């Protein structure tokens, strides 16, 4: 996103593992559109500019989809789109090897195209491509800042490589080889220092959760180690990193006011999953958890006690569609296909209906940076069953007055156990948990709380500085004109 007085811009990219277009309907997108809506409402002389690679969509189509998916009505007169044609350079398919470095270089190519088309007054990255800051400052000479949903590299990623643990970012080939693991660890550590150098260029820095803040702070602190100081000497030719900006936690906006209108009683025996069909969301674990649950409770396969898992998610491309097909095949293999329902690319009203009727909300992503879907579950009155990591563990599904607001799990068996507990609570305990979860979500993660945090982030200081600089420039021009006229 970029911003101007009358012109600022929000950069529309995303972290390397989660790249998506600006009208894909993802949860992280809600930050972008809510921020723009807030600015349009409070700052009438500011024009928001969205750089996007969605060249197959028009401005009107994107705005209509934002309204349909997020119930956010945007003013087209205060919003402008700059369409980019080099998005392939940030796609993971372009960089099958050295993906982090490749996509970061690709983001610099994309930023070059963006700055060639329009230079704003302020550049805010909401997608996780901090390396674009180098190009933006070089070509535009403007302040840069970021809202970080997920750090491009984290200490967890470094730890997994060091421990040679197989992961979707650490293949079995690398994990099984000491030499390859050691080489990748050095690559990651050097990349982390380049990433920290880029983040230090930000005038203000927002993060979406305690988990993200801890990791971003750790990456920024890595430049202060002996290894970091040595490598940083080689970064000086691309510009000094500058002083470290304060990392401020601003929880993403969640449409809790609409969700909180749902009734808390008379829920159907539905386990709802609202997550895009991406590898890191680990939908197969949800299917295996359902299989384990039905093995323990065969009477829940059919009849009045039938339990269904409803998988709701966006499919961005052919790869996502292929993952949906693979999930359907897994359901058939595990003999749970009659208990699984797929809802791909659901509209907002359809999602609201599902949230109003489901009993349990499930999330299986490990190290989920925040988890807007989990907040929506809780606000809508669902009992959350989430992974014991990241934002859902540290910020969202936390005790209130010593009482639980949901369940945490790690594998198929523990998820099955948690689901069984959630579905067998007494009516009194079930209603009490739904109420606690809703009250916590509505209070802590509302749109109002987000806009307060956004307003306090430092961008208003930038706006005042821009206005003051323009006034000084006007005075200087006027004085110069007066002097020239007097000389004549």
Is 486 a member of any domain? Answer: no
Does residue 113 carry a pLDDT above 50? yes
Q: Are 209 and 284 members of one domain?
A: no
Does residue 304 carry a pLDDT above 60? yes
Query: How would residue 342 be classed by pLDDT, with cut points 50, 70 and 90?
Result: very high
pLDDT of residue 15: 33
Q: Are 89 and 238 members of one domain?
A: yes
Residue of 106 and 481 predicted with greater confidence:
106
3-class SS at 360? strand
Is 184 a member of any domain? Answer: yes
Does residue 298 carry a pLDDT above 90? yes
Is 453 a member of any domain? Answer: no
Q: Are 212 and 84 members of one domain?
A: yes
For 485, the token pair is 């006229």
Q: What is the mean pLDDT of the chain?
A: 85
C-alpha 7/C-alpha 47 separation (Å) is 4
pLDDT of residue 249: 93
Q: Are 289 and 412 members of one domain?
A: yes
Is 482 a member of any domain? Answer: no
- Tell me the mean pLDDT in the region 330-336: 97
Mean pLDDT lowest for which of 11-15, 152-156, 366-370, 452-456? 11-15
C-alpha 281/C-alpha 28 separation (Å) is 14
pLDDT of residue 458: 76
* Ramachandran bin of 79, using left for φ above 0, alpha for ψ from -120 to 50, beta for the remaining angles: beta
**Beta strand 205-207 with 247-249: parallel, antiparallel or unpaired?**
parallel
pLDDT of residue 16: 33
Is 484 a member of any domain? Answer: no
Is 472 a member of any domain? Answer: no
- Tell me the mean pLDDT in the region 98-119: 93
Q: Are 273 and 185 members of one domain?
A: no
Q: Are 191 and 106 members of one domain?
A: yes
Query: How would residue 3 be classed by pLDDT, with cut points 50, 70 and 90?
Result: low
Residue of 405 and 317 predicted with greater confidence:
405
pLDDT of residue 171: 64
Model confidence, pTM:
0.77
Q: What is the CATH number of the domain that holds 427?
A: 3.40.50.2000
> pLDDT digits over 417-464, tens only?
999 999 999 999 999 999 999 999 998 998 889 999 998 887 777 767
Q: How many domains does the chain have?
A: 2
List C-alpha distances in Å: 429 to 153, 272, 384, 405, 483.
Answer: 41, 20, 14, 11, 80
Is 488 a member of any domain? Answer: no
List C-alpha distances in Å: 126 to 11, 57, 409.
Answer: 6, 20, 30
Q: Are 140 and 209 members of one domain?
A: yes
Q: Are 299 and 377 members of one domain?
A: yes
For 40, the token pair is 């349009």
Q: Are 153 and 287 members of one domain?
A: no
Residue given tokens 């009992």 in the structure block: 383
pLDDT of residue 242: 57
Query: How would residue 310 be classed by pLDDT, with cut points 50, 70 and 90?
Result: very high
CB 442 within 8 A of CB 379: yes
User: What end-to-end distance do the CA atoms of the chain give, in Å?
Assistant: 46
Q: What is the CATH number of the domain that holds 139?
A: 3.40.50
Q: Are 123 and 85 members of one domain?
A: yes
- Tell me the mean pLDDT in the region 354-361: 96
Residue 23 structural domain: 2-254+458-466
Q: Are 239 and 285 members of one domain?
A: no
> pLDDT digits over 311-320, tens only?
999 887 888 8
Does residue 378 carry a pLDDT above 90? yes
- Tell me the mean pLDDT in the region 100-107: 92
Is 314 a member of any domain? Answer: yes
> pLDDT digits over 59-73, tens only?
999 999 999 888 899
3-class SS at 173? helix
pLDDT of residue 17: 35
Highest mean pLDDT among 3-17, 30-44, 239-253: 30-44
C-alpha 423/C-alpha 289 separation (Å) is 14
Q: Are 203 and 85 members of one domain?
A: yes
- Tell me the mean pLDDT in the region 134-163: 86
Exposed e or buried b per residue across 217-254, where buried means at least 16 C-beta atoms within 10 angstroms of its C-beta: bbbbebbeeeebeebbeebeeeeebeebbebbebbbbb
Residue of 254 and 104 predicted with greater confidence:
104
C-alpha 313/C-alpha 333 separation (Å) is 22
Query: How would residue 190 be classed by pLDDT, with cut points 50, 70 and 90?
Result: confident
């Amino acid at each position: 996103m970029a911003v101007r007085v009358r012109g600022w811009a929000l950069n529309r990219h995303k972290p390397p593992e989660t790249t998506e277009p600006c009208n894909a309907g993802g949860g992280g997108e809600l930050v972008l559109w809510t921020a723009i809506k807030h600015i349009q409402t409070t700052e009438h002389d500011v024009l928001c500019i969205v750089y996007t690679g969605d060249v197959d969509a028009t401005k009107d189509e994107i705005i209509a989809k934002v309204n349909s998916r997020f119930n956010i009505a945007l003013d087209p007169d205060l919003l402008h789109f700059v369409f980019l044609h080099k998005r392939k350079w940030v796609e993971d398919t372009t960089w099958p090897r050295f993906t982090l470095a490749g996509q970061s270089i690709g983001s610099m190519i994309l930023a070059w195209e963006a700055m060639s088309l329009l230079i704003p007054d302020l550049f805010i990255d909401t997608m996780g491509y901090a390396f674009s800051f180098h190009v933006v400052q070089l070509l535009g000479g403007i302040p840069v800042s970021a809202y970080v949903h997920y750090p491009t590299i984290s200490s967890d990623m470094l730890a997994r490589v060091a421990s040679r643990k197989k992961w979707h970012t650490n293949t079995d080939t690398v994990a099984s080889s000491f030499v390859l693991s050691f080489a990748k660890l050095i690559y990651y550590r050097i990349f982390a220092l380049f990433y920290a150098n880029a983040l230090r260029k930000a005038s203000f820095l927002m993060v979406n959760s305690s988990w993200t803040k801890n990791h971003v702070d750790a990456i920024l602190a890595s430049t202060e180690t002996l290894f970091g100081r040595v490598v940083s000497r080689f970064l000086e030719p691309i510009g000094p990193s500058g002083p470290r900006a304060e990392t401020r936690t601003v929880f993403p906006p969640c449409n809790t006011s609409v969700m909180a209108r749902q009734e808390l009683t008379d829920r159907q025996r539905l386990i709802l999953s609202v997550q895009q069909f991406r590898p890191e969301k680990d939908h197969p674990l949800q299917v295996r958890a359902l299989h384990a649950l039905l093995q323990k409770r065969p009477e829940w396969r059919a009849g009045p006690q039938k339990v269904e898992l409803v998988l709701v998610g966006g499919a961005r491309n052919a790869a996502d569609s292929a993952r949906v097909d693979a999930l359907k095949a897994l359901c058939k293999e595990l003999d749970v296909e009659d208990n699984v329902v797929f809802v791909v690319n659901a509209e907002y009203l359809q999602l609201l209906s599902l949230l109003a009727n489901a009993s349990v909300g499930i999330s299986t992503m490990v190290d989920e940076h925040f988890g807007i879907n989990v907040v929506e579950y809780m606000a809508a009155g669902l009992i959350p069953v989430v992974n014991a990591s990241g934002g859902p563990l540290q910020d969202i599904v936390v005790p209130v007055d010593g009482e639980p607001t949901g369940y945490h799990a790690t594998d198929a068996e523990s998820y099955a156990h948690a689901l069984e507990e959630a579905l067998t609570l007494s009516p009194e305990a079930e209603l009490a948990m739904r109420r606690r979860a809703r009250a916590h979500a509505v209070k802590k993660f509302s749109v109002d709380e987000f806009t307060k945090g956004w307003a306090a982030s430092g961008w208003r200081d930038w706006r005042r500085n821009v206005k003051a600089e323009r006034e000084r420039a006007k005075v200087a021009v006027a004085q110069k004109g007066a002097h020239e006229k007097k000389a004549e």
